[in-house]
Structure 1
Amino acid sequence: MGDVSPTIRRLSIPEFTINTPVLVDIYIEAMEYDKAIRDTRVEVWRRNSQNPGFTAVAALMDDQVVGIAYGFNGSPNHWWQHQLRRGLRQQGGPTEEEIQLIQNYFEVAEVHVQPGFQGHGIGRKMMHELLKDNASGHAILSTPEVDGEANPAFSLYRSLGFTDFLRHFKFDGDQRDFAVLITPLPLGER
């Protein structure tokens, strides 16, 4: 493919909402999910756009969206934070430090690049734009566990300074193991 130089730009909430079906299609393809989840995920993503601190970025190549990343401020009222607290309890916590960490974080909800465009730095560029100027103390995300962390997602997150927060965690409704990773903000590079 040679040099891949996408345009990375922030999406307004109306742009995100209008384009959510296309963005969810990228997610389904990148994660190899069943297309039957499309309508449900479109609704969830649109609801997420109403969360405080919502930020979305897209990667465009020749006016085609090839990547999406979005997130929002963590909140004790969100399902995800309830899941994190459950995971910390299962692992003997939460400690005072862990409680502090989940008081002020930005949840990186989704980061996806179309398979044909992966491996060219698009995810890295989206992460930098997504987390640029973010006032939260930390960014937290989850990614499916893989043996030896041998996939591009883990390589990207580790290179951006993400460390373990929870490992081999099962979110309610998903039987796969996930790693929950955290990094201080502003975003660094290893």
Structure 2
Amino acid sequence: MMGSVSPIIRKLSIPEFTTNTPVLVDIYIAAMNYDKAIRDTRIEVWRRNSQNPGFTAVAALMDDQVVGVAYGFNGSPDHWWQHQLRRGLRQQGGPTEEEIHIIHNYFEVAEVHVQPGFQGHGIGRKLMHELLKDKQNTFAILSTPEVDDEANHAFSLYRSLGFTDLLRQFRFDGDQRPFAVLITALPLHDS
């Protein structure tokens, strides 16, 4: 359980991120309650993501223990995720002219995770602010699994930071769970 000490949030260099990726992926697996069998594959994917243009990573530390991680990079038409995004927009009748503008200048918030037991104490908010600070992109976009009535810490955080719906009940290729794809204008503001 968290004491009264506030976490230290700091940016990670690409070498720091790639060296510490196993620990960071363990936080992701715990936070998302995923099967540990995906660990090696996710480590590989995260390390590969660190080579994307605009890559930024931040970590939350409590007593020298990493308890949270967030990272992202500039959206690109070459990325799998943007192909998925375009497919979702087509399925809902778009992309509209505004949506075309959006998908040409966004920062993809790829991952935001806080270790269970540390969730609900503002660490995710601090990670998001540090991650998106000084971004030159017009928008930030992320996806999160759908939950009934948006009743979890993730949705509460994203809504409080001004994220609105871009796509709902969207299914990414290879994942049968429905996701919400959320967007906000940058710079980030608390609401």
State the TM-score, normalized to the length of structure 1: 0.99
Q: What is the CA deviation profile of residues 88-145 of structure 1, one whole-angstrom value per residue up to 9, with x for unaligned ones?
A: 0111111111111010000000000000100100000000000000000000000000
Q: Give the distance between the partners of 2:4 and 2:182, measured in 1 at CA.
A: 30
User: What one-letter code is carried by the residue in structure 1 that aligns with 2:86?
Assistant: R
Alignment partner of 1:11 is 2:12: yes
Contact 1:4 1:120 in 2 (8 A): no
Q: What amino acid is the match of 1:116? A: G
| Structure 1 residue aligned with 2:83 | 82
Between the aligned partners of 2:4 and 2:29, the Cα distance in structure 1 is 25
1:23 corresponding residue in structure 2: 24
Asked if structure 2 preserves the Cα contact closer than 8 Å seen for 1:68 and 1:112, the reply is yes
1:10-33 deviation per Cα after TM superposition (whole angstroms, max 9, x unaligned): 000000000000000000000000
Aligned residues: 190
Task: Give the Cα separation in 2 of the matches to 1:163 and 1:54.
Answer: 23
Q: Does 1:164 align with 2:165?
A: yes
Deviation, 1:3, is: 2.9
Structure 2 residue matching 1:117: 3-state secondary structure: coil
Q: What secondary structure does 2:167 align onto?
A: strand
1:27-66 equivalence runs, <5 A = 27-66=28-67
For residues 98 and 42 of structure 2, the distance between their equivalents in structure 1, rounded to whole angstroms, comes to: 33
2:93 maps to a residue whose letter is G
1:76 is paired with a residue of what secondary structure? coil
Establish whether residue 69 from structure 1 lines up as the match of residue 70 from structure 2.
Answer: yes
Q: 1:75 Cα shift?
A: 0.2
RMSD between superposed Cα atoms in Å? 0.7
- Match of 2:186? 185
Equivalent position amino acid for 2:184 in 1: T
Letter in 2 for 1:97: E
- Alignment correspondent of 1:102: 103
Aligned amino acid, residue 137 of structure 1: T
Matched letter for residue 159 of structure 1: S
Partners of 2:107 and 2:79 in 1: CA distance: 12
TM-score, normalised to structure 2's length?
Answer: 0.98
Q: Which letter maps to 1:5?
A: S
Aligned match of 2:174: 173
1:57, 1:129 within 8 Å by CA — same for their partners in 2? yes
Please report how far the alpha carbon of residue 153 of structure 1 lies from its aligned counterpart in structure 2 after TM superposition: 0.2
Tell me the secondary structure at the aligned position of residue 36 of structure 1. Answer: helix
Show the counterpart of 1:115.
116
Q: Which runs of 5+ in 2 are unaligned?
A: none
Quote the Cα distance in structure 1 between the aligned partners of 2:32 and 2:125. 18
